[in-house]
Structure 1
Amino acid sequence: MQSYEERLTAPRSWWVIAALIGVACALMLLPLGTLPMLGGLIGGAALAAVGVSGYGSARIRVVGGALIAGDAKIPATALGEAQVLDADAALAWRTHKADARAFMLLRGYIRTAVRVEITDPQDPTPYAYLSTREPERLVAALAAVRG
């Protein structure tokens, strides 16, 4: 059985922006003195870094006969066909083709995705849209777990 794991980490440019937020906070507090300025630098950068880290901590895993994507755990028996989405198809499925009932683990900085049908009759979710940097590997892992 093939397993799969991916963390949807934020791009490096977001970390630069987090540092710049710290600099902006420091500049806002500069008129109050050196100590408040340092507090603004450290506090602003730390809060921005927590936000970037939290947003980039989402994971997709295929283990133990299930797809685990973010907070969702979908057993292999409820998974249908998985489709690789290139950049254009991924854009279409997250905009005008999107279904409001779908589960979406969407990260705008990742251009490719996988669309997995949900076949459980008890679940109103028609499909799961998963942003992924390695769509072919994810589809292969899903095919292996479905048997």
Structure 2
Amino acid sequence: MPDYRERLWPTPWIYLVSLLLVPAGILVLAPVSLPAGIVTGIVMYLATVGALTLTAPVIEVADGRLRAGRAQIDLALTGEAIGFGPERARVERGTGLDARAFLVIRGWVQPVVRIPIIDPADPTPYWLVSTRHPNEAAAAINGSRRPSGAESEA
């Protein structure tokens, strides 16, 4: 059982806005064939909904590892995770962002968690991960972190 698991589903308004693909398909193909326009609009909408749903990344903390999308890292190689609400997250994703950071962010999820990387061999200074529950995600990461060899010897 994971300590924390969240899928970054798109918000409902994205699915509603995507419905505009149906009239767009009709508008484009109506001069040629109205039925073809209707079918094309519906197919474009379903393809968009399918792509948004299938590509929604999973954020998971389990067995001393953090998985964000397809990437994963041992929590012994991470520092203290910090969760940021929408206001501070805007700075973290914008002017405060380090270009070397690893990102798993979605525009429809405002809060983020910043996870420093303490592995000296890794050029990535931190991971920045979108989450709807930044404090819970940070607590799960910090609570599941295993001490590295150097820390356990001290």
> Shared topology, TM-score over 0.5?
yes
Q: Which runs of 4+ in 1 moved over 3 A?
A: none
Return the alpha-carbon distance in structure 2 between the equivalents of residues 78 and 90 of structure 1: 23
Return the alpha-carbon distance in structure 1 between the equivalents of residues 129 and 143 of structure 2: 18
Secondary structure of 2:80's aligned partner: strand
Give, as a single letter, the amino acid of the residue that structure 2 aligns with 1:83.
I
Segments of structure 2 that go 5 or more residues without pairing to the other structure are 147-154
Residues matched between the structures, number: 146
Return the alpha-carbon distance in structure 2 between the equivalents of residues 20 and 69 of structure 1: 31
Deviation at 1:37, TM superposition (A): 2.1
Equivalence for 1:120? 119
Segments of structure 1 that go 5 or more residues without pairing to the other structure are none
Equivalence for 2:151? none
TM-score by length of 2: 0.87
Deviation at 1:42, TM superposition (A): 2.1
**Structure having the larger proportion of residues in strand:** 1
**Change in 2 beyond 3 A, CA 1:2/1:58:** closer
Q: CA RMSD in A?
A: 1.7
Q: Verify the 8 A CA contact 2:25 2:38 in the aligned structure 1.
A: no
Matched, 1:131 2:139: no
Q: How does 1:4-23 map to 2 (within 5 A)?
A: 4-23=4-23
Cα deviation, 1:91-128, whole Å, max 9, x if unaligned, reads: 11111111111011111222211111011111111001
Give, as a single letter, the amino acid of the residue that structure 2 aligns with 1:71.
R
